[in-house]
Amino acid sequence: MASAEKESIDKAVIEKIENVGRNALKEIEAGKNPEIQIPLRTLSNVHYDEKERLIKIGNAVQKRSYLNLGQAKRFMQTMLIASACKDLIKTGKTTSIRDLFYMTKHSIGNTQENTFDEQEESDPIIEDLEVTIDTLREELHLFASNRGSLVGNITLVDSGDTIDCRKLGSGGWSIPSIVEKSIIQFKDSEAKFVLMVEKDAVWRRLNEDKFWKKHNCILIHGQGVPPRGVRRLLWRFENELKIPIYVFVDNDPWGLYIYSVIKQGSINLAYESKRMAIPTAKFIGLSSYDQERYQLPKDVTIKLNEEDKKRANQILGYPWFQKPAWQKELRYMLEKGVKLELEALSKKGISFVTDVYLPEKIAKKEWLE
Amino acid sequence: MASAEKESIDKAVIEKIENVGRNALKEIEAGKNPEIQIPLRTLSNVHYDEKERLIKIGNAVQKRSYLNLGQAKRFMQTMLIASACKDLIKTGKTTSIRDLFYMTKHSIGNTQENTFDEQEESDPIIEDLEVTIDTLREELHLFASNRGSLVGNITLVDSGDTIDCRKLGSGGWSIPSIVEKSIIQFKDSEAKFVLMVEKDAVWRRLNEDKFWKKHNCILIHGQGVPPRGVRRLLWRFENELKIPIYVFVDNDPWGLYIYSVIKQGSINLAYESKRMAIPTAKFIGLSSYDQERYQLPKDVTIKLNEEDKKRANQILGYPWFQKPAWQKELRYMLEKGVKLELEALSKKGISFVTDVYLPEKIAKKEWLE
Amino acid sequence: MVEKELTAEKMAAAKEVSVAEFFEKNKHLLGYENLQKSLLTCIKEAVDNSLDACEEARILPTIYVEIKRVGETGDRFKLIIEDNGPGIVKKNIPRIFGKLLYGSKFHRLKQSRGQQGIGISAAVLYAQLTTGRPTKVYSRPSDGFTHIFELHLNTQKNEPEIVSEASVTGEGHGTRIEMEIKGKYTRGKQSVLEYLLETAILNPYCTLIFLDPDGEKFEFTRAVDKLPPEAKEIQPHPEGIELGILIRMLKNTPARNLRSFLTNEFSRVGGTKAGEICDVAGIDPKVNPTTVTRDEAEKLLDAMQKAKLQNPPTDCLSPVGQESVEKGLKKEVQPEFVAAITRPPSVYSGRPFQIEVGIAYGGKLESEGAIQIYRFANKMPLLYDQSACAVTKAILQTDWKRYGLNQSNGGLPSGPVAVSVHLASVWVPYTSEGKEAIASYPEIIKEIKLAIQEAGRKLGMFLSARHREHMLREKASIFQRYAEDLVASVSNLTGKPVAEIQVSMQKLLDNKGLVVDEEEEKKEEVSEEEESADTKRRKEYAQRDAGEEEDL
Amino acid sequence: MVEKELTAEKMAAAKEVSVAEFFEKNKHLLGYENLQKSLLTCIKEAVDNSLDACEEARILPTIYVEIKRVGETGDRFKLIIEDNGPGIVKKNIPRIFGKLLYGSKFHRLKQSRGQQGIGISAAVLYAQLTTGRPTKVYSRPSDGFTHIFELHLNTQKNEPEIVSEASVTGEGHGTRIEMEIKGKYTRGKQSVLEYLLETAILNPYCTLIFLDPDGEKFEFTRAVDKLPPEAKEIQPHPEGIELGILIRMLKNTPARNLRSFLTNEFSRVGGTKAGEICDVAGIDPKVNPTTVTRDEAEKLLDAMQKAKLQNPPTDCLSPVGQESVEKGLKKEVQPEFVAAITRPPSVYSGRPFQIEVGIAYGGKLESEGAIQIYRFANKMPLLYDQSACAVTKAILQTDWKRYGLNQSNGGLPSGPVAVSVHLASVWVPYTSEGKEAIASYPEIIKEIKLAIQEAGRKLGMFLSARHREHMLREKASIFQRYAEDLVASVSNLTGKPVAEIQVSMQKLLDNKGLVVDEEEEKKEEVSEEEESADTKRRKEYAQRDAGEEEDL
């Protein structure tokens, strides 16, 4: 680990965490109701920055105070999490958010009540802390469970180990939750682009066909909505290697939303958009128009269910979905009433996706931006 | 790929698949109702072989014929899948079971009906075919989605690439679905045992603490119930490297069942037990007795819910759960009415599991067999 | 505080009230609750009387009904009901229409629509109360004249008041009534039209013509040229007698001794039985009935009810008959299938009754929602209070799934079905004076259920035959449907050309496609079930953590 | 087939039926449907009469009720009802008990329990019908004697038959009735005990003593020493008059001219109004009423009903009063809280009525299941047909959640609550003669709902005060509960010792813990809500594929 840099970050973060406690203490000693102001992570407090093409968080805050029936417990929990994070950083360990839940869970005094009952309670408090002191999850020495794999024309250094991603066979490299420079460094890459695939089965097909070798690229999947680690890695590829990111997802509202999250950021992590969103990312497929374009048989389509339709209509209304091409794409999907999964391309032959679809799309620059 | 061996396997499998079609044709031409006999994969048709310590499939079969209203469609589907698998092997491609679903899904004649509507329909047919012609999933050139990662004191060759698993940083090697000798070879291992962990967060903690280096082992997680690839890999480690497999799971009926699956096989894949079950595998934790043994605070326990209790009572009745130690373990869990997750160990300190728990268990040989 | 106590003397200003005053004040008890129901009740009383009179005179009834709007308020109607019945002799006209509780049917034990002598005079009372107008009656009793009366009802005296009276020459027979009332005309459920339709369903031997206030004409034409059998009057049966009634009969009998009292005034009591009864009661059969004391009467009643007597005679009943039930449903409902059952007579509380049930299926019947229920008592449709009626209860207690219909737990069955249930009895036990629902005597419910079951079995046979035919066609088409893919797959697996396999396949289907051994089919299903149980187990386990597969 | 046509002459054997015969045959219309209900009806008719008589005589009622088993069949009972009322003068006794439709209350417009003069004589008829026994009446009408009669009712004539008669010296006043009937004694819902309990709830100025067939004694003791106000008799109001009635009144009036007819025989019609009405109708006010024609009467009625008249006088009503409603519920239900409302009188169809509502909460009331409903009409409990009653409908139409109770959609509210609703009126519109449910006139439903709302608001205030108190206590304990962990965390974050922070914290809690500004609290809750909406969104999205987190 690049320890000097790491140490200075750790020190700064501890200072910020301690400030939270100091402010509370000041108010308690002054006989005031102690209060924390937490930037709001809601639809109403994010906006789409047209210039930077990012979702950004606004200035609205929620106040959380102790002497308030609905907030007392959460106020205490916030301090508890802050205190635990300080300890974590001090001992130089990194742990999962589930671990942190167990570390801070205990019964309160002599009651039957616990500080936390479910991880669902502690996770949002961690996010609250991140956004309040403007610090990354990773800087708090925390990670979520990881997902996603990588192969391709690049060599990485991971915690000091050199990994040649051209030689990882069928499995590939598991992408960890924390991919910051202090842990992962890039070395020796000839890749011309990154192909980010929603699903691992398709990734596997592409890897088996050595797509990344033929087309000289890095192949990544995030198994659904890509976790922070994958998003942050993509961001670093784009920024450090200066290569484009192509996103290849199911043709349904969820797939398109994954693309939007990669490209523009998400509501919940709007405060991290600058460090995670990639405005130049390109949507390579599946498009609602691909069925006609590639003459896919009708029977590979799946009817949109109520949830799909609801979600489609919901994201149609988001300010960052107002680009005419996106609206057209989504409305056409709703009009046809069907969705397409990536696997549907297999109908045209097992390696259709590798030999025809992707090369054509990239060559023709047929993507949604 | 070790192509000579592979080719001869492929040829044998194709012959077996074709036989299914030939038998049907013979009956059709003889004016008889064509029928397939499929070994039953049910609780009633498996037994526990005390000697081999494996769950084995019995001789009962279900008959599936075409001229039977309830079976006609499934009979046709079975032939359809067999035919598609033949094509797959002939073209030398490997694909996911989801891909196979899409490849065989189409509308029937001029009707609105499809050959398959959901993957849930085609998956059991694939299993039927496997067991009927006594062939592995992998030999049919099929894989399910993969899960699981590996680090440790071993070097592997994966599809020709040499991978040093000591140098995979925090991410590790993603374990593919197919780990047969023709694809993965072992090279250069000093590991003294394999530690199979249920959860990736714990695996990550152990990897960060370089547990595998300190204790000279291979570290694997299967993210829940280990998929075929992980089970087959464990089996090969045990058989080829002659090192013990330690299983480290949550203390709940599901965790114990994962151990049983690894050790003795499962009902549904009873016909594969010989190639997947590892009777020497050892249950290292968490045990219901660990709470007292390691003085874990009460508040890390979680109450068993109704499903947990139902499952516990169900597996208590399985013939292969009749060993007194297992019964005692499960009954004590029910009696206490609580379960423990692996993360609970963090209460004793972030690296308690690495520094204290596992070394002690292994040293004292305190495991359930 | 001390209350001033009044003496009873001051409160003694009690006086007698006429029954007409009572019902004038309580007209809702007779079906005059609201304007819509009042209009229907007036029509119903007149039409029921016409039908009764025609049947008694053995005339095939033809009845004309007209409703006209009067004035501009929208709530005034003139009603005209004319029949081809026997007419009413001149001297009886005023009291039949102008006096409550006057009639020929009250004391008779014999099936008829009207029972109390209250219906038509209550309509006259209602007309007078709401519009002040007298009711006009034209009667031609085959005496060469038409007698025309305009009548009021004096409520304080419960006696008719004749406003005008005339007799003109006129041939033939029949009765025509004209009255003016306040009311409300509607269509749909519980309307005049529905009442006439249902009347036509169960009384297919009558013709009904209806001219509604909008000038639309409806004709329900006779489909059967035979009247139901004539009902005979009978004596009461000991089983249905109460002590108070017996005491009164003993006091009023013309019989000279107890034995002849018993044999003459009760049905099913012969000389020997009468002797036995007196023996058991310990009373001399020769004693004068008027001297029997209350305590003796009690013993006598006990003995009468314990004696093993035959059921009462059933010629007092006039069922419509299986054929007419069927024909009525056929002509008005136009279904695909009809089954009807007339049960043998039975008895509740010593009173004979008989159940007839018709079930119609398909055709013009609505296939969505609950089945249609037509309820009849003594050939009259019951339009209100369906849920309180014994008929509905019997239908709810029947397991209709057995007969091939859908039925949710505790609910009415659903499907394109109409069920008509007719209770014929000398005394219909209504739950209220509005004559809207039959009380739930266990004997009655039991008989209705038996009749429904008999007819239901016929429906079930019809439906299962239809289903079997459908299944056979379905079966053939299913085997055919999957054949193409099956053949293509087998061809790919074996290398044999599709065309050749196709020929063998078609031969197989033609020979065996429709005649698979049922026993075999069953056995195979069992193992399929077992298979799905395993699938279920796997799914259960998968619930633990969606996305995890056990070992797929 | 040719039918033989009978002449009308042969069918003319019509005859008159007495009202007693009618009700003997239709006794279910009067509440004698089954043995259990018949027993209750007999008791009820006697007790209601006793209460009416006492109130009219301004005597605080004390009523003794006894039921004894007779014989061994288990279905025979002797009923004894004795009161301290004014008694009945000797000459009236036979007809009050032995003649239907005889009484002082039928033609009066004034609130009382009995209305028809049918109740107690129907009980006598029922006793005679089922056991043949006469009813025995002891009356002491303050004339120094006790008059003792044994009575039957001659049904054919609807006249009393005196079996025995005697007068012995006896002081004081009161009436005692003894009758023997067939019946069935039960406890629980719709039982005699329930009837007496509910009577005691709404009539807390009476004392009831009951000895049941098992010898158990129940006493419901007077809690109020004041009778409700006496009801006065009034004239009818033009709004409630029908044309037929008006015509009859015109014919029978002693008034010499139309103007005085209008002012004398109707309430709220003064001389000026009478003149106006005649003007509008176009009839000379000096005309003799008996010469008014039907058509003129129609115009007159129209004018009367269009004239703007005051509502009818309301001294014909005798509400129990808010205080008594409260005291009655308190003494018999023993709740934690009671609220009662007596609404001002209102009018439906020209008839004055008044609603009283009491709501009891907690205490001995059952906290599981639906609330208890007590329905009363003219101070009498209604035990049957709850679902058909206007009271139930009004309760269902009320939004009880507003008053702090649970209520599922379209259902009765639940909780430890009893609601008593009393309708007092000169004419209670029952849905049937069994006097079991109040008909759903919109005016009545509206008044009931208003009364419930008024009382409900009081209940709501009580419950929310209780809730607030509970919340304050809860609040203090919550802030205290989390303080330890909070202090420990802050100490770890700041390095300040726990003990020191603890002191500041405790000071803060003591000062501010219970007095947080409500406005502030509200504002903060809003943002918390917004936050949870976001969480919800994330969860929705997570549903797509369980196990996937968006970006955690």
- B232 lies in the same domain as B213: yes
The Cα-based distances of A117 to A120, A121, A132 in angstroms read 8, 7, 23
- For chain C, what percent of residues have pLDDT higher than 70? 88
Q: Answer whether residue A368 is part of any domain.
A: no
Distance of CA B132 to the CA centre of its chain: 19
- Mean pLDDT for D138-160 is 91
Contact yes or no for D294 and C133 at CB 8 A: yes
The helix/strand/coil state of D7 is coil
Q: According to the model, what pLDDT value does residue C74 have?
A: 85
- A326 lies in the same domain as A235: yes
The helix/strand/coil state of C123 is helix
Read off the pLDDT band of B143 (50, 70, 90).
confident
- Mean pLDDT for C478-495 is 90
Contact yes or no for D104 and C19 at CB 8 A: no
- A197 lies in the same domain as A262: yes
DSSP A368: B
The Cα-based distances of D134 to D33, D50, D150 in angstroms read 21, 20, 6
Residue from the list D485, D533, D548 with its beta carbon closest to the beta carbon of A224 = D548
Domain around B65: 2-143
Q: According to the model, what pLDDT value does residue D4 have?
A: 40
The Cα-based distances of C327 to C221, C332, C358, C367 in angstroms read 12, 9, 10, 21
CA-CA distance, C287 to C292, in Å (whole number)?
8
Rounded to the nearest angstrom, the minimum Cα separation between C489 and chain B is 5
Greater pLDDT, D65 or C528: D65
CA-CA distance, D376 to D393, in Å (whole number)?
14
Torsion of CA D89, D94, D97, D98, to 10 degrees: -160
What is the three-state SS of B105-144?
Answer: CCECCCCCCECCCCHHHHHHHHHHHHHHCCCCCHHHCEEC
Give the DSSP H or E segment for C375: strand C372-377
Question: Using an 8 Å Cβ cutoff, are B153 and B212 in contact?
Answer: yes
Read off the pLDDT band of A144 (50, 70, 90).
confident
Q: According to the model, what pLDDT value does residue A136 have?
A: 82
DSSP E strands, chain B? 35-39, 46-49, 54-57, 61-65, 95-96, 142-143, 149-152, 155-158, 161-164, 173-174, 184-187, 193-197, 217-221, 245-248, 282-285, 302-303, 338-339
The tens digit of pLDDT for each residue in A186-243 reads 988 889 999 999 888 788 888 888 889 988 999 999 877 888 889 999 999 999 999 9
Question: Using an 8 Å Cβ cutoff, are D528 and A65 in contact?
Answer: no
Is A166 in the B-facing interface, judged by CB distances under 8 Å?
A: yes
Closest CA to C15 of D96, D113, D249: D96
- A190 lies in the same domain as A281: yes
Is D123 in the C-facing interface, judged by CB distances under 8 Å?
A: no
Question: Using an 8 Å Cβ cutoff, are D398 and D417 in contact?
Answer: no
Task: Report the number of distinct structural domains present in chain B.
Answer: 2
- A232 lies in the same domain as A107: no
Residue from the list B103, B344, B351 with its beta carbon closest to the beta carbon of A93 = B351
- A124 lies in the same domain as A174: no
Q: Which of A113, A143, A173 is the last residue of a domain?
A: A143
Q: Answer whether residue B76 is part of any domain.
A: yes
Cβ-Cβ contacts under 8 Å for D35 (sequence gap 6 or more) = D75, D182, D183, D184
Strands A61-65 and A35-39: antiparallel
**ipTM entry:** 0.52
Question: Using an 8 Å Cβ cutoff, are A99 and B352 in contact?
Answer: no
Greater pLDDT, C266 or A341: C266
DSSP D87: -
The tens digit of pLDDT for each residue in A145-197 reads 667 889 999 999 988 888 899 988 888 888 888 888 888 999 888 899 999 99
Closest CA to C88 of C140, C21, C32, C125: C140
The helix/strand/coil state of A115 is coil
CA-CA distance, C420 to C438, in Å (whole number)?
14
Q: Which of B143, B172, B203 is the last residue of a domain?
A: B143
Q: Which of A92, A111, A143 is the last residue of a domain?
A: A143
- B99 lies in the same domain as B241: no
Q: According to the model, what pLDDT value does residue D46 have?
A: 93
Residue from the list B42, B67, B145 with its beta carbon closest to the beta carbon of C530 = B42
Q: Answer whether residue B207 is part of any domain.
A: yes
Rounded to the nearest angstrom, the minimum Cα separation between B55 and chain A is 30
Q: Answer whether residue B223 is part of any domain.
A: yes
Mutation pick from D4, D17, D432 vs chain C, by most beta carbons of C within 10 Å, is D17
Question: Using an 8 Å Cβ cutoff, are A87 and A43 in contact?
Answer: no
Question: Using an 8 Å Cβ cutoff, are B322 and B285 in contact?
Answer: no
Greater pLDDT, C533 or D314: D314
Q: Which of C471-485, D138-152, D407-421 has the highest mean pLDDT?
A: D138-152
Check whether C521 has a pLDDT greater than 50.
Answer: no
Q: According to the model, what pLDDT value does residue D514 have?
A: 56
Check whether A246 has a pLDDT greater than 90.
Answer: yes
- Could you say which residues from 85 to 144 on chain B have a Cβ atom under 8 Å away from some Cβ of chain A? 88, 91, 93-96, 98-99, 101-103, 105-107, 114, 143
The tens digit of pLDDT for each residue in A324-369 reads 999 999 999 999 888 888 878 877 877 888 888 888 888 888 888 8
The helix/strand/coil state of A14 is helix
Nearest residue on chain D to A62, alpha-carbon basis? D527
CATH code for position B71: 1.10.10.10
Mutation pick from B28, B106, B177 vs chain C, by most beta carbons of C within 10 Å, is B28
Contact yes or no for A145 and B101 at CB 8 A: no
The tens digit of pLDDT for each residue in B43-74 reads 888 888 888 888 888 888 889 999 887 888 99
Question: Using an 8 Å Cβ cutoff, are C486 and C505 in contact?
Answer: yes
Cβ-Cβ contacts under 8 Å for C216 (sequence gap 6 or more) = none
Cβ-Cβ contacts under 8 Å for D260 (sequence gap 6 or more) = D274
Is D250 in the C-facing interface, judged by CB distances under 8 Å?
A: no
Greater pLDDT, D108 or D536: D108
- B350 lies in the same domain as B246: yes
Q: Answer whether residue A278 is part of any domain.
A: yes
- A25 lies in the same domain as A56: yes
Q: Answer whether residue B369 is part of any domain.
A: no
Question: Using an 8 Å Cβ cutoff, are B320 and B264 in contact?
Answer: yes
Q: Answer whether residue A369 is part of any domain.
A: no
The helix/strand/coil state of D19 is helix
- A178 lies in the same domain as A105: no
- Mean pLDDT for D425-452 is 85
From chain D, the residues in CB contact with A40 under 8 A are 527, 530-531
Greater pLDDT, D301 or B118: D301
Contact yes or no for A123 and D545 at CB 8 A: no
From chain A, the residues in CB contact with B170 under 8 A are 158-159, 176, 178, 183
From chain A, the residues in CB contact with D540 under 8 A are 311
Provide the H-helix boundaries in C232-388.
243-252, 258-265, 271-281, 294-306, 322-333
Q: According to the model, what pLDDT value does residue D146 have?
A: 93
Nearest residue on chain C to B46, alpha-carbon basis? C534
Question: Using an 8 Å Cβ cutoff, are B262 and B270 in contact?
Answer: no
Burial D480-501 (b: 16+ CB within 10 A, else e): ebbbebbbbbbbbbbebeeeeb
Q: Answer whether residue B368 is part of any domain.
A: no
Closest CA to B75 of B30, B23, B111: B23
Check whether D349 has a pLDDT greater than 90.
Answer: no
Contact pairs from chain A to chain B, CB under 8 Å: 159
Q: According to the model, what pLDDT value does residue D320 have?
A: 92
Mutation pick from C467, C479, C485 vs chain B, by most beta carbons of B within 10 Å, is C485
As to burial, measured by CB atoms within 10 angstroms (0-12 exposed, 13-18 middle, 19+ buried), residue D214 is exposed
From chain D, the residues in CB contact with A144 under 8 A are 549, 552
CA-CA distance, A329 to A341, in Å (whole number)?
15
Q: Cα-atom radius of gyration of chain C, to the nearest Å?
A: 33
Cβ-Cβ contacts under 8 Å for A74 (sequence gap 6 or more) = A64, A125
Nearest residue on chain D to C103, alpha-carbon basis? D14
Task: Name the one residue in this structure whose structure tokens are 């009004």.
Answer: D394
Q: What's chain D's average pLDDT? A: 84
Greater pLDDT, D483 or D103: D483
- Mean pLDDT for D518-544 is 36
- A318 lies in the same domain as A356: yes
What is the three-state SS of C241-279?
Answer: CCHHHHHHHHHHCCCCCHHHHHHHHCCCCCHHHHHHHHH
Sign, Cα dihedral of C388, C390, C395, C397: positive
DSSP D278: H
CATH code for position B321: 3.40.1360.10
- A28 lies in the same domain as A73: yes
- Mean pLDDT for B257-286 is 89
Question: Using an 8 Å Cβ cutoff, are B334 and B309 in contact?
Answer: yes
CA-CA distance, B259 to C543, in Å (whole number)?
18
Question: Using an 8 Å Cβ cutoff, are D221 and D214 in contact?
Answer: no
The helix/strand/coil state of B328 is helix
Nearest residue on chain D to C93, alpha-carbon basis? D12
Check whether C548 has a pLDDT greater than 60.
Answer: no
CA-CA distance, C511 to C508, in Å (whole number)?
5
Burial C86-105 (b: 16+ CB within 10 A, else e): bbbbbebbbbbbbbbbbbbb
What are the catalytic residues of B?
102
- Mean pLDDT for C41-54 is 92
The tens digit of pLDDT for each residue in C170-195 reads 888 999 999 999 999 998 888 999 99
Closest CA to B147 of B185, B173, B123: B173
Nearest residue on chain C to B273, alpha-carbon basis? C551
Greater pLDDT, C446 or B295: C446
